[in-house]
Amino acid sequence: MATRHLKVFALLGCALFAGAALQAADTPPTTLHKVDGHWTAWDPPTPPEGANVHIVVPGDTFWDLARTNLNNPYLWPQLWEKNQYVRDAHWIYPGDPLILDLQVAPPTTVGATGDEGTEDVTGGMDDGSAGEPVIAADATGPFPGVAPAGKGSVPVPLGTQDDIYCSGYIGAPDEAFGYSVIGSEYDVLSPQLKNPVYGQVEGIFGTVDAVKYKLTTGDIVYLDGGRAAGLSPGMLFTAVAGGRIVRHPVSNEALGRQYNYTGRVRVLSVQEESAIAEIVQSCDGISVGMRLKPFEQEPIPLARRGLVRPTTEPATVEELSTAAVIVSSPVELVSLGQDHVVFIDRGEDDEVLPGDIFTIYRMNRPAAPPVVLGELAVLSVQAHTAVAKILESRYPVYVGDRLERK
């Protein structure tokens, strides 16, 4: 998945920045002061004695530090949470101390115990600390706005497991998959009758002998690969249903095919050329013929929720002319709103990360300013597209609405 970096830039002397900032951090902190011989916008505390401290050097990012110290870059919010004096994760300064004393449990092997309820993909931590979280100053933008429910300084999950694992992605129109579901136990559970004229075996209700079309959690299915194809017991796969070709609502160019996730299966046993598997998660039901791709565990992104962009301070038409766009939704709804999942036309190669938050706009009639509709958060990214969840909406949201990163 994504390996996009949070850009962090060294400030030298009189706030000279090296490099170009991310869109998400186009407006860096403007008030700098000198602390222990280095320039910073924050007020780093003195680390406690014996703490595992890393002194920021040019080029450091929370993303890379989480990869190095936690073996998972997606856990960068845990480092941010531990160092709450940093008000904006896009800006850390050479010389600032970062405490790395984190005790993050190794990721649970999903379904390994047969208890789906134990799955934890939030990257939770237990550092043994107690008491109320330190309240950080809001750093969401220059404009006042309406505070969303639950607004605070502590990073909160931006979605749920189902938002990620029951969504999908936009991929190549002819994407190849290694395996597929070729049958289920229900295919032969219908009583069988032999046609006396043709000698064919037919189900009691006709030639279709399956009694369940959409298979759900606990159902047994058969896969078209076995030991010879590299399958082994315990392997997890996501079931994928191929959909329509998605065309960009503004340019009308083909973006790719929409693939929807329909559930997850675990291999129970393998034969030389086939395998038996159990459905361990069902979204909209898994059907015979659906393709399978290796399951990839993704943490639920965390972020500090800020103020929603006020309706009186929208972006300009020029700023939104080349902005990101909502291009589709997994459920193919025309009218979308809060808590709906959508696909957008920006991804990893466009410097978009899980956890990024965008303001949603509707382009207005000529000479009128764009209308602020709400905001959404990115949950998962591909190369040039991403899955996002609408966090708030004042009005219905449609495919084609524009997005501006906060």
pLDDT single digits (tens) 328-346: 998 888 899 999 999 999 9
**Cβ–Cβ under 8 Å, residues 385 and 255:** yes
DSSP string for 356-379: -EEEEEE--STTSPPEEEEEEEEE
CA-atom Rg of the chain in angstroms: 25
What is the pLDDT at residue 103? Answer: 55
Quick one: which of 393, 392, 391, 397 has its CA closest to 334? 397
Percent of the chain whose pLDDT exceeds 90: 52
Question: With the CA atoms of 36, 37, 41 and 44 taken in that order, what torsion angle do they form, in degrees rounded to the nearest 10?
Answer: -20
Distance, in Å, from the CA atom of 321 to the CA atom of 332, rounded to the nearest integer, reads 25
At 256, phi and psi to the nearest 5? 140, -175
Q: Is the pLDDT of residue 153 over 60?
A: no
Distance, in Å, from the CA atom of 325 to the CA atom of 343, rounded to the nearest integer, reads 9
Lowest-pLDDT range of 138-142, 283-287, 300-304: 138-142
pTM confidence score:
0.64
Q: Is the pLDDT of residue 27 over 50?
A: yes
For residue 96, what pLDDT band results from cuts at 50, 70 and 90? very high
Task: At 223, list the tokens.
Answer: 């896969």
Distance, in Å, from the CA atom of 219 to the CA atom of 258, rounded to the nearest integer, reads 26
What is the pLDDT at residue 238? Answer: 97
For residue 403, what pLDDT band results from cuts at 50, 70 and 90? very high
Distance, in Å, from the CA atom of 188 to the CA atom of 205, rounded to the nearest integer, reads 12
Quick one: which of 313, 309, 321 has its CA closest to 374? 309
Q: Is the pLDDT of residue 128 over 80?
A: no
What is the pLDDT at residue 379? Answer: 95
Task: At 41, list the tokens.
Answer: 């916008």
Residue recorded with tokens 């050329």? 273
Percent of the chain whose pLDDT exceeds 70: 75
For residue 194, what pLDDT band results from cuts at 50, 70 and 90? low
DSSP type of residue 242: E
Q: What type of residue sits at position 314?
A: P
